[in-house]
Structure 1
C-alpha cells in the first residue's frame, strides 16, 4: 500500500477537483459522508452523546459535515468550534452555514479552558480540530482541551490524523496532541502511525476511500510503502512440480562462538524452513556436536579454532551467506571477516556482531558487496550510523547510509522499516512476542533462505520481514506473547507460507 506524503495528498485533492469537475466543498462533503457511513455502521444508532470538536480549517469542515449527518439520523450530538484563530477556511464557513439546515442550535464556540464541556466516560469524542496541514504549536488552552479529552476516558475518534500530530516531524509536547483510540485516515495511512515515537497517538487506524482520482493514485510514486498481506502475496513464488533441492540454492550461515552456537542453529533452521534447498553452517569446533545433534538437516563446517571464528576457508560455493549471528568481535574474527570481504563475491546478509564489526571498522563497509542486507537492532544501528535526534532524523541517516554504501538496511522494531536508498518499506506484521532472544537470528535465516531461492535482495528483505512477523502472529494465537520463543517462529513459518498460498490461489482464481 502506498503511503502518500502531505504534499501528494494536497495534489491529489487538487487533481480530483479538476478531473471530476467538482468543488472543494463537494470533496469535503464526500469525505465527511464516508466518515459518517463508517460511524453509522459501527454505532447502529447508539444513544451515547457524541461530542464533535471542529477546528476552523478544512479538518473542522469535515467535522461539521459529520455532525450534520449524525444529527439528521437522530444521534445525540454536541458540536464545538475550537476557536484557535480568527481565520476560517472557505469550506469550513460553507459547512458552518449548512448546519442551520438541521438544527436551530449553533455550535458552541470554545475560546478558553473555562468553557470546556463535561464529557463522560461513555460518551464519544470526534476530533476534527487540526488536519495534516498543522504546522505550529497548539495554544495552551487547546493543549488543555486535548488533556481534557484524555482525562474523560471517552472513546476518541480522530479524523484523518490525531490533532496536533505532524506528518513529518515529532511533537515536542505530547500533551499538545490528541491521543486517539481510532483514526480514520483519508487516502492512506500516515508514516507517523508506525514510528516508535508517534505510533502511540493512535491505537488503531483505518483508511477511508474518499474517491480521489484513480489515475493520480495509480501513477503517483511514493517512496514510503506499507507491506502487508496483499503486497506479500505478489512477492510469493509457489514451487514448480519438477523442482529439486538444487533449484532452491545453498545457504551458508557463518557465525557462532563459545556459548552462542544456538544463534547459528536458529538461523540455519530458519533458512531451511524458509525454503533454501541446502543449508551449511560454518562454526567454531566447539559447536559441532551441538549443531549436528539439534539440526541434522544442516551440513557443518568447522573453523580450526575451538571457540571462535579465526579464518574463513570455503571449499563450497554457496548461493548466499548469512554472516554474524553469535560470532563475537574478537580480534581474530574481525581479521577473518576483513580477509573474507576482500575476496567474497557472494550476496551477503549481515546481522548482530557482523554489524558491530562494521560499526567498529568503518573502512570495511567499502568492501561490502552492493545490495548487501544489514539487519541491526536499535543499539547496533546506533553504533553503525551514530545517534539520532528523533525517528525522522534516524530514517534520514539510514537513507543516507544506504545511498553511500549501496546497501539495504532493515531497521528492526514493532513496525520494521526496510530502507533501500531513499525508499522506505514499513512492515505491518509482528507483535510484542518477538521481543525475545533469538528472533533476530531467525529473521537473518529467513532472508538468506529466500535469497538462496532466487528472490532479489530487496524482495527477500521485505518478504522475509513479513513472513517473520506473520509467523509470530500465527504462533501467539496459541502461545501468547510471553511464551513465544524464537524456535516457535521457525515452527510456524509453514503456516505463514500456507496462509499466503491460499491468498495467492484465491487471487489467481478471480483474475
Structure 2
C-alpha cells in the first residue's frame, strides 16, 4: 500500500469528487465507515462525547454524532461556540444535528466531569490537513482530554499531528487509543515520536479514486498482506534440498553461542535447504544437540578466527560474534575477497562502525541495524524522520539494503524506496529477536528471493510470528525462541 503526502491525499479527494461523488456524500461515506466501526467495538450503553472542529474533520464528527444517535447511542457534541465559521460540508452536517433534540451541543468550556467507565471521546477536531500547532481553546481542550483516562478515538488522524512530519517542539497532540484513518496510512503513524499518539490504527476504505492512487508517485509504502501474498512463493512438490539454497550463519563467541543458534534455527524454520553454523568450537556441542539439522563448521576456539568462503552460499554474519581482534581480522578478510550479497547484523555492524569499513560491504547486501547501531555506522540524527532520510542516502551511496529495526521496522532500498512494516509488537523487544530476523533474511535470500522482496517478506514474517507468539504467551512472557517456533504457523496462515 502506498503512503501519500497530505497534499496528494487532498488531490485524491478532489479527483474522487470530480469523478462523480459530491463532497457531502464522500463525507457521509467516511462518517458511515467510522460509525459502523464504533457500533462494532462499543456498547450502546456507552456515552459518546464528540469534539468537533470547524473543518471537514468536524463535519465527519457531526455526521458520526447523527448516525450514532440514530442507532440508539447517547451522544453529546462539543464545539467552540465562539467560532462557528464551518466549512460548507461541516455546516450542512452541523445544521442536521441541531434539528435533533436528543443531541446536546455544548461549548468546549462546558466540558467538565464525566463518568469515566462509560464514556468514549471521539476526536474530530483536525484532520490530515493541519499545518500549524494547536492554540487557544483547541489546545486547552486537547490538554484536558489527555488528562482524562477514558477511551479516545481519533477520526482520520489524532488532532495536532501532522501527516508527514514531526509536530513543532511544544505542540499538543491528542493521545488516541484508536485512530480511524481513511483509505491510506499517513507516514507519521510509523515513527516513534508521532506514532505513539495513534493507538491502534484501522484503515477504512472510502473508495477514493483508485486510478489516482495507482498513478501517484511516492517513495513510501506499507508492507501489507497483499504485498506479501504477491511475494510469497509456496514450495513446489518436485524439488530437493538444493532447490532451497545454502545458508551459512556466522557468529557466536564464548558465552554468546545462543545468538547464532537462534539465527540458524530461524533460517531452518524459514525453509533453508542446507544450513550451516560457522562458530567457535566451544559452541559445537550446544548447537549440534539443539539443532541437529544444521551442520557445524568450526572457525576458532572461543571466538570466530576465520570465515571460510564457500561457493553458492548466502552468509548471515554477526549474532553473538563479539569484537575480538581475531574476529575483526576474520571479518575484514572475508569482506575483502567476498563480493556476493551478505546479511550483516549485530557485532558485524559494530566492527564495521568501529573500523570504518563500510566500503567493504558487497553491493546488494543487507544490514539490519537498530537505531543505536545505525548511529554508530552513519552518525547522529535529530529524530527518526531524519534517520530515515539519512538511511535513504546511505543505501543509495553504498548500494545496499538497510533494514532499520524499530517498532515499525523500515526497509530502505538502494533506489530510496521505504517500506514500513506493520506486524510485530513490544514483546519482541528482547535480546535474540534480531538474531531471528537475520536467520529469516539469510534463508529467504538463499532461496533465491529477490533481495528487496526478501527484506520485505522477512520483516513481515518476523513480526507476524511475533504477533502469534504474543497471542499465545503474552508480550511479557514470549521469548524469541517462541517467535521462531511460530514461523510455521505464519506459513500456514499464508496458505489458508
TM-score range for the pair, normalised by the shorter chain length: over 0.9
Q: Does the CA contact (< 8 Å) of 2:316 and 2:438 recur in 1?
A: yes
Deviation at 1:127, TM superposition (A): 1.0
Give 3-state SS (helix, strand or coil) of 2:249's partner.
strand
Query: Are the structure 2 counterparts of residues 101 and 85 from structure 1 closer, same or farther at C-alpha, using a change threshold of 3 Å?
Result: closer
1:392 and 2:392 equivalent?
no
Deviation at 1:117, TM superposition (A): 4.2
The more displaced of 71-80 and 242-251 is: 71-80
Match of 1:348 in 2: 342
Give 3-state SS (helix, strand or coil) of 1:205's partner.
strand
Match of 1:95 in 2: 93
**Rounded Cα–Cα distance in structure 1 between residues aligned with 2:264 and 2:36:** 50
1:443 and 2:437 equivalent?
yes
Deviation at 1:282, TM superposition (A): 2.0
The more displaced of 320-329 and 188-197 is: 188-197
Match of 1:36 in 2: 35
**Rounded Cα–Cα distance in structure 2 between residues aligned with 1:34 and 1:490:** 37
**From 482, 487, 490, the counterpart of 1:488:** 482
Q: Deviations over 1:334-354 (max 9, x none)?
A: 232222212212220000011
Query: Are the structure 2 counterparts of residues 109 and 243 from structure 1 closer, same or farther at C-alpha, using a change threshold of 3 Å?
Result: same
**Rounded Cα–Cα distance in structure 2 between residues aligned with 1:105 and 1:205:** 28
**Rounded Cα–Cα distance in structure 2 between residues aligned with 1:19 and 1:61:** 22
Match of 1:237 in 2: 233
Q: TM-score, length-normalised on structure 2? A: 0.92
Query: Are the structure 2 counterparts of residues 132 and 240 from structure 1 closer, same or farther at C-alpha, using a change threshold of 3 Å?
Result: same
Give 3-state SS (helix, strand or coil) of 2:272's partner.
coil
Match of 1:330 in 2: 324
Q: Does the CA contact (< 8 Å) of 2:263 and 2:439 recur in 1?
A: yes
Match of 1:312 in 2: 307
Query: Are the structure 2 counterparts of residues 108 and 482 from structure 1 closer, same or farther at C-alpha, using a change threshold of 3 Å?
Result: closer
Query: Are the structure 2 counterparts of residues 29 and 273 from structure 1 closer, same or farther at C-alpha, using a change threshold of 3 Å?
Result: closer
Match of 2:472 in 1: 478
**From 61, 64, 68, the counterpart of 1:63:** 61
Match of 1:287 in 2: 283
Match of 1:508 in 2: none
- After TM superposition, the structure 1 = structure 2 runs for residues 184-263 of structure 1, keeping only pairs within 5 Å, are 184-263=180-259
The more displaced of 290-299 and 239-248 is: 290-299
Give 3-state SS (helix, strand or coil) of 1:313's partner.
coil
Query: Are the structure 2 counterparts of residues 348 and 219 from structure 1 closer, same or farther at C-alpha, using a change threshold of 3 Å?
Result: same
Deviation at 1:10, TM superposition (A): 0.7
Q: Deviations over 1:415-464 (max 9, x none)?
A: 22212142222222222322222221111011101111111111111111
**From 73, 78, 81, the counterpart of 1:80:** 78
**From 107, 126, 147, the counterpart of 2:143:** 147
**Rounded Cα–Cα distance in structure 2 between residues aligned with 1:395 and 1:324:** 23
Deviation at 1:320, TM superposition (A): 0.8
1:456 and 2:450 equivalent?
yes
Query: Are the structure 2 counterparts of residues 72 and 478 from structure 1 closer, same or farther at C-alpha, using a change threshold of 3 Å?
Result: closer
**Rounded Cα–Cα distance in structure 2 between residues aligned with 1:172 and 1:84:** 26
The root-mean-square deviation of aligned C-alpha atoms, in Å, is 2.4
Deviation at 1:84, TM superposition (A): 8.3
Query: Are the structure 2 counterparts of residues 441 and 48 from structure 1 closer, same or farther at C-alpha, using a change threshold of 3 Å?
Result: closer
Q: Does the CA contact (< 8 Å) of 1:120 and 1:154 recur in 2?
A: no
Q: Deviations over 1:138-186 (max 9, x none)?
A: 1154222113223333322211011011112223568711111211101
1:275 and 2:271 equivalent?
yes
Give 3-state SS (helix, strand or coil) of 1:156's partner.
strand
**Rounded Cα–Cα distance in structure 2 between residues aligned with 1:212 and 1:163:** 22
Match of 1:402 in 2: 395
Match of 1:2 in 2: 2
**Rounded Cα–Cα distance in structure 1 between residues aligned with 2:347 and 2:30:** 50
Q: TM-score, length-normalised on structure 1? A: 0.89
Query: Are the structure 2 counterparts of residues 287 and 194 from structure 1 closer, same or farther at C-alpha, using a change threshold of 3 Å?
Result: same
Structure 1: stretches of 5+ with no match in the other structure: 503-511
Structure 2: stretches of 5+ with no match in the other structure: none
Q: Deviations over 1:111-136 (max 9, x none)?
A: xxx54344331222221111111121
Number of residue-to-residue matches in the alignment = 494
Q: Does the CA contact (< 8 Å) of 1:321 and 1:346 recur in 2?
A: no
